[in-house]
Amino acid sequence: MTASAPRPSAAPRAVIVGGGLAGLAAAVALAERGVSVAVLESRPRLGGRASSFVDKATGTQIDNCQHVSLGCCTNFQHFCRTVGLSDLFRTERSLYFIGRDRVVNRLAAGALPAPLHLAAALGIHALGIYPPIRPMHPGRWAPVGPKARVFVKAGECSACRAGGDCSCIRGIRPEELEGWLHAVQKGPGK
């Protein structure tokens, strides 16, 4: 019986099925960590649903999935910076979409982080429980829309600012929250 010398370990390898944004981002992340990556894609292009096509009726180039370039899609922004594409994007304050009913819809970024930025655009209810201090104060919730409800105890809270036990949050009565949640469940006029 002879002992063989240990083989030097080869770099890890991975195969990623799908060259959409998620597959490409996974490939880049693995490659940054020294993994040898192969991406398999059935289409003749990469990007998945994030693509462009020429409308046969008008000859106009149409972008599909452009919402991923909004500022709230931080993973996509990181991907673009990593692969050197971020300079190729133009920042727009809002995007316009034409719905199936041929109505033009506007989508603009709000002041809140994801996923709260979508509440106003989607017309959904949002609940915030905040201390009365900046930058966390309830004024940040104003852009969320008419279905947002903020619960905050009036006045200043020095404990919050110092990172201590926050009596202002504990001062919000559970009955207040419960009442609002029941009203939302029932809906208007029920």
What's the rounded mean pLDDT across residues 4-24? 82
What's the rounded mean pLDDT across residues 68-90? 82
Question: Tell me, what's the pLDDT at 14?
Answer: 95
Question: Tell me, what's the pLDDT at 64?
Answer: 81
CA distance 20 to 40: 10
Q: What is the DSSP string of 91-146?
A: P-SEEEEE-TTS-EEEEE--SSPTTTTHHHHHT--EEEE--SSTTTSGGGGGGG-T
Question: Tell me, what's the pLDDT at 151?
Answer: 74
What percent of the chain clears pLDDT 90, i.e. is strictly above it?
18
Q: Is the pLDDT of residue 48 over 80?
A: yes
State whether residue 62 is helix, strand or coil. strand
Q: Is the pLDDT of residue 141 over 90?
A: no
Q: Is the pLDDT of residue 7 over 60?
A: no
Domain boundaries, the chain: 115-185
Where does the pLDDT of residue 179 fall: very low under 50, low under 70, confident under 90, or very high at 90 and above? Answer: confident
- The larger pLDDT score, comparing residue 166 to residue 57, is at 57
Q: What is the mean pLDDT of the chain?
A: 77
